[in-house]
Amino acid sequence: MIGKADSCGLIWDFAVPGSLSSSQRWVLSAMQSWGPELVTMLWRILGNEQDVCDAYQNTFLKLAHFEGGRKPEHIKAYVFRSAANVAISMLRRRITERKNLSELSAAGNNIKSPISELDSRYLQESLRCNIARLPEHLRSVVTLHDLAELSYVQVGKMLGITAATARVYRCKAIQLLAVWMNRKE
């Protein structure tokens, strides 16, 4: 991974014109301002420290490469939304990998015991899987409001919707999650 990161760094150094080099301090400022909240959100979505570091790195690389190194108009919205998207993609990949592995190993042992239903790890994994399945507009609200702990007003501003709409989307998302998390497989 370090090798890969280094190679990315070399490409980055090579690709960016010198005129932009002085104007990219805002990437570090963004990291300083929203880094802690971003790490918390990513940790809650992924639940794995290595994945959090990867998603964090991807997010800021995306930010640094945005339209050839230009500063986005709403950096906070850009950073949070792209971090959530990166994390969800990683989560989906992980779920698919796990599914393939379990199919190979035991041909699916899907009997759910009441003990496992109350197991915190099971609950967390089930929640993460189902959040990844949500439609994009509902998923964005859940990740930003519940996992990044942003207010409805902030979420609305980031997604370009009103706070009331964000509230409605969150309610719908919880209803869907409740149905999916209780469905007998």
Where along the sequence are the contacts to another protein (CB under 8 A)? Answer: 5-6, 8-9, 12-13, 16, 21-22, 24-25, 27-29, 31-32, 35-36, 39-40, 43-44, 47, 49, 52-53, 56-57, 60-61, 64, 120, 123-124, 126-128, 146-147, 174-175, 177-179, 181-182
Task: Give the nearest distance from C-beta 99 to another protein in angstroms.
Answer: 20
Is 104 within 8 Å of 150 (Cβ atoms)? Answer: no
Rank residues 100 and 155 by Cβ distance to another protein and give the closer one.
155
Task: Give the nearest distance from C-beta 107 to another protein in angstroms.
Answer: 27
Buried b (16+ CB within 10 A) or exposed e, 52-72: bebbbebbbbebbeeeebeee
Rank residues 64 and 77 by Cβ distance to another protein and give the closer one.
64
Task: Give the nearest distance from C-beta 104 to another protein in angstroms.
Answer: 28
Q: Please state the three-class secondary structure of 38-89 as a single string.
A: HHHHHHHHHCCHHHHHHHHHHHHHHHHHHHHCCCCCCHHHHHHHHHHHHHHH
Rank residues 14 and 111 by Cβ distance to another protein and give the closer one.
14
75-106 vs 25-46: helix axis angle to the nearest 10? 30
Other CB atoms closer than 10 Å to residue 142's CB: what's the count? 24
Task: Give the nearest distance from C-beta 184 to another protein in angstroms.
Answer: 12
Is 98 within 8 Å of 133 (Cβ atoms)? Answer: no
Rank residues 82 and 126 by Cβ distance to another protein and give the closer one.
126
Task: Give the nearest distance from C-beta 82 to another protein in angstroms.
Answer: 13
